[in-house]
Chain A
Amino acid sequence: MIEFKNIVKKYKNKEVLADLSFQINTGDFVAIIGASGCGKTTTLKMINRLIEPTAGKVFIDGEDIGEKDVIKLRRNMGYVIQQTGLFPHMTVKDNIEIIPKATHMTPEDIKARTCELMEMVGLNCDEFLNRYPTELSGGQQQRVGVARAFATNPDIILMDEPLSALDPITRAGLQDELIDLQSKFRKTIVFVTHDMDEAIKIADKICIMDKGHIIQYDTPENILKYPANEFVLQFVGSKRIWTSPQFIKARDILLENAVSTTANSSLFGCLEKMRSTQVDSLLVVDAKTKRMEGVIYAEQILREKDLSLKAKEVMKKDFVSIGPEDNILEVLRIVQQNKMSSIPVVDENGRLSGIITKSSLITTLSQQYITEEEA
């Protein structure tokens, strides 16, 4: 765990970091994001002590890093920056092996490890080992950079906008691989970026900074849905959520006051309720447990001659429903497949949470266009 405690950084009179306190849990992939000059890179460089704080301390697993040997500290931490981070006069091999050699690992271990690392980042060992960085594409260079960061098998890896100089396709590919590497090796990765899409895509948690302060530090989902303030909203962009629709869940868009009835109501009573509320179906719910028992449609009632029958004798019991955690994409798919005008949302205990209707879907989906116009 990396812990920032009351970190302040001043250059002359300019305050770059103002009383920063937050934690990065072991194994988390944290993206620090903000506009230029917000202090995100300064924050990152505090962790490997490229920049020392004016006040406050950084702890790693409870130990004050200010008291550790700085060279040892850095060697136990991967560091990746934009492609300039590779040494142009050294081959791929020398670039990856520079720290292992400095730490006096045995040559056999180094050799085996280098190939392993290259395969890990998807580079053919024989083909690339003796090439120079200038002979590689930007994406390949950055793969080497990542391999170098993993060379000493560190617990923490720091990345300072490692992908921002790459073209979008290469970049997306490397983002996927970083996610993959992270899930395989469970490193603690601190990743500085200015690209919100990137942060949302790869990070477990996002730390949004502005003028040396942390504005919001939360999961991507919460940041999208519950921006802490106007700044975050502006930064995230109010329609950003539409680029990540998987974060829009059924519970976020359901109507809670679904028109319902109980199993023992008469068909006549049901019909009256439909008329008064202008709906063509009722959800049948147990009054006490709120468990959903079935659906009854107006056309079913009209087919019956005896309107004194109970709802439970007529209602459809094999109804289609969705869970509150299902996202909007699934809702749309199910609605479309079943040609339904509405769909009940039922939690894992079978209790009715609410209903999503075609009109509520339209209202939700239209937000992205309406807010855009307003903006």
Chain B
Amino acid sequence: MEVLRFFQYAVQNKVQILTLLLEHIQLTAMSVGLSLLIGVPLGILICYVKKLSKPIIGVSNVIQAIPSMALLGFAIPFLGIGVIPAVVTVLLYSLLPIIKNTYTGIDNIDRDLIESATGIGLTKLQVLTKVQIPLALPVIMAGVRISAVTAVGLMTIAAFIGAGGLGFLVFSGIRTVNNFQILAGAIPACLLALVVDGLAGLVERLVTPISLQKGKNMSLELTKKTRRNQKVILAVSAALVIGLFGYTALSGTKGNERSIVVGGKDFTEQSIVSNLVADVIEEKTDIKVKRRLELGGTQVCFSALKSGDIDLYIEYSGTAYGDTLKYPASSDVDEVYQTVKKDFKEMFDIDVLSQMGFNNTYTLTVKQETAERYGLKTISDLARVADELRFGSTLEFLNRSDGFPGLAELYGVSFKSEIGIDGSSRYVALMNDETDVVDAFATDGLIKKFGLVVLEDDKHYFPPYYAMPLIRGEVLEKYPEVEAVLKELGETLTDEVMTELNYKVDELLMNPEDVAKEFLEGAAGAM
């Protein structure tokens, strides 16, 4: 039954899945191709200059040990968001197996054989190209194979910085607790990994000299025939990938039209609001909108905005005030907004447009039963019994100054344990009784979905988190009409509306795009 529903989902979204799969293939091919171009020469280099082998292998070992998200985070300030940092990050992870295998492959060739090659009068280059590389090729290819398969999996992080790929489905599925969506990303990724492994295995076998292949019970004739077939398979695959690049290159070079890039963070509300923003701009102006949604978080979006990778995204006033500008937390709505507006313009030439109608501030929530058992209504109530409860919080909330640390100080809250769980998984943990308290956003649809009790911020700790569009100064100058369009949209979006829209995505598993469209149609009908 579930399987059937999954297939229905997959068929319904086949265009999206296929597009993302193709993106994924392209990104992976670029990463592995480039790491091949860099890794093999490096591997050869350290065979000749042994002194370099330790530092080079050491550095690539260290890179391998850095968490991929962290590496991606480092890359954003230098490379912005999108395809380039994603490819570079995955490339860096792919380097180690390639460098190491090239080095091992060449270094392990019988020294007598190399001496024999030198002794009969081959030049150093000829020894390398005619003897060392051909003999090391199977080992090098084994490294490439590991790299390629790892890269397929790793490339899911590309979605984090708006480069697309199957990770988009996985991340957005995790966020909305939509298992079908997760599977729609994960299954093609697995299949792709298997196919890549198979193809790389073919190459590995093809580059192994016939004489050195194991299992020689095949006749030479048969081996040659098999090889011919294998070559055809590889040639077709290579042609397809090249064709894919060619197609993208052609379709990517459209004229210099009026366009604006809208970004968005990777949670439900952002998806909905960003789509709403993009839709109204498209509808009410002649500006083309490019959507780069589902970007990692505040840092990713803000860096992208500063570097011009995106032109516009929706930020929350408290986040900009406390997190980006590092002011101490303030609960004065007007002061926060005005300060941010002034500072962003002066410091980054970023215009802050009018605040929208909803305040997605932090809250703490518990299950209905928990609230009843302990008689919890406010955070002050919670503080009394906190030492019996486990806190499952987003990493961001645990770490930011206007998040849990300040709250704990003001209310004197001290939990039995604190666990960082990102995205919607923390609701799952809560429902499974692995945690008792979660942080939540005031407009979160999942609160409604899981029937959670929101604890009142009775000491007015949480700063205002009104949504507000950030737009690059030069873009606003070019397209001043955007300001009015967004003001009109913002006024219709109240806390209640937002919670409802979030609920539709989180509980009813509707697409954020569809929810946005439906809302705009309804709003237009009402007007």
Contact = CB atoms under 8 A, between A and B. Distances in A.
A89 B209 contact: yes
A79 B121 CA distance: 9
B118 to A, nearest CB: 6
A48 B131 contact: no
A86 B122 CA distance: 13
Contact of B119 (A79, A88, A133): A79
A75 B211 contact: no
A89 B135 contact: yes
A143 interface: no
B119 A84 contact: no
B212 A85 contact: no
A343 to B, nearest CB: 53
A256 interface: no
Interface residues of A, number: 30
A57 interface: no
Contacts of A85: 112-113, 116
A74 B121 contact: yes
A81 B116 contact: yes
A102 B126 contact: yes
Contacts of A78: 120
Interface of A: 45, 48, 50, 71-75, 77-79, 81-82, 84-90, 98-99, 102, 132-135, 148-149, 158
Nearest to B208: A89
Given A75-B121, A84-B110, A85-B113, 8 more contacts: A71-B123, A85-B116, A89-B212, A90-B209, A98-B120, A99-B120, A102-B126, A132-B211
Contacts of B210: 132
Given A87-B131, A102-B126, A133 B116 contact: no
Contacts of B122: 71, 98-99, 102
B140 to A, nearest CB: 14
Contacts of A75: 120-121
Nearest to B211: A132
8 contacts: A45-B119, A72-B121, A74-B120, A85-B113, A89-B135, A90-B209, A102-B121, A102-B122
A90 B126 CA distance: 14
Nearest to B207: A89
B225 interface: no
Contacts of B112: 81-82, 84-85
Interface string B35-54: 00000000000000000000
B14 interface: no
Contacts of A84: 110, 112-113, 116
A132 B211 CA distance: 6
Interface in B114-138: 115-123, 126, 130-131, 134-135
Contacts of A132: 209-211
B38 to A, nearest CB: 26
Interface of B: 110, 112-113, 115-123, 126, 130-131, 134-135, 209-212
A135 B116 contact: no
A134 B211 contact: yes
A88 B211 contact: yes
A365 to B, nearest CB: 45
A73 B120 CA distance: 9
Given A71-B121, A98-B130, A102-B121, A88 B116 contact: no
A48 B116 CA distance: 11
Please name the 5 residue pairs, one residue from A and one from B, whose CB atoms are nearest each other, closest first: A132-B211, A74-B121, A89-B209, A75-B121, A85-B116
Question: Which secondary structure dominates where chain B touches chain A?
Answer: helix
A87 B119 contact: no
Q: Residue among B117, B119, B130, B209 with the most chain A CB within 10 A?
A: B119
A135 B212 CA distance: 10
A81 B126 CA distance: 19
Contacts of B116: 79, 81, 84-86
A15 to B, nearest CB: 22
B211 A135 contact: yes
A84 B116 CA distance: 8
A50 B117 CA distance: 11
Nearest to B134: A89
B209 A88 contact: yes
Among the interface residues A48, A89, A90, A158, which one has the most CB atoms of the partner chain B within 10 A?
A: A89
A48 B209 CA distance: 30
Contacts of A148: 120
A262 B112 CA distance: 70
B119 A50 contact: yes
B117 to A, nearest CB: 7
B139 to A, nearest CB: 13
B123 to A, nearest CB: 6
Nearest to B118: A50
Q: Which of B121, B122, B131, B209 has the most CB of A within 10 A?
A: B121
Given A85-B112, A89-B135, A134 B120 contact: no
Contact of B212 (A73, A88, A98, A102): A88
A272 B13 CA distance: 132
A48 B119 contact: yes
Nearest to A48: B119
A144 to B, nearest CB: 12
A69 to B, nearest CB: 10
A238 B50 CA distance: 50
A78 B116 CA distance: 11
Contacts of A158: 119
A99 to B, nearest CB: 6
A73 B112 CA distance: 20
A292 to B, nearest CB: 58
Contacts of A102: 121-122, 126
Contacts of B115: 50, 81
Contacts of B121: 71-75, 77, 99, 102
Contacts of B119: 45, 48, 50, 74, 79, 81, 158
Nearest to A81: B116
A135 B113 CA distance: 18
A104 to B, nearest CB: 13
A87 B118 CA distance: 12
Contacts of A81: 112, 115-116, 119
A89 B120 contact: no
Contacts of A98: 120, 122, 130
Contacts of B113: 84-85, 87-88
A82 B115 CA distance: 12
A45 B115 CA distance: 10
Contacts of B135: 87-89
A77 B120 CA distance: 7
Q: Which of B116, B118, B126 has the most CB of A within 10 A?
A: B116
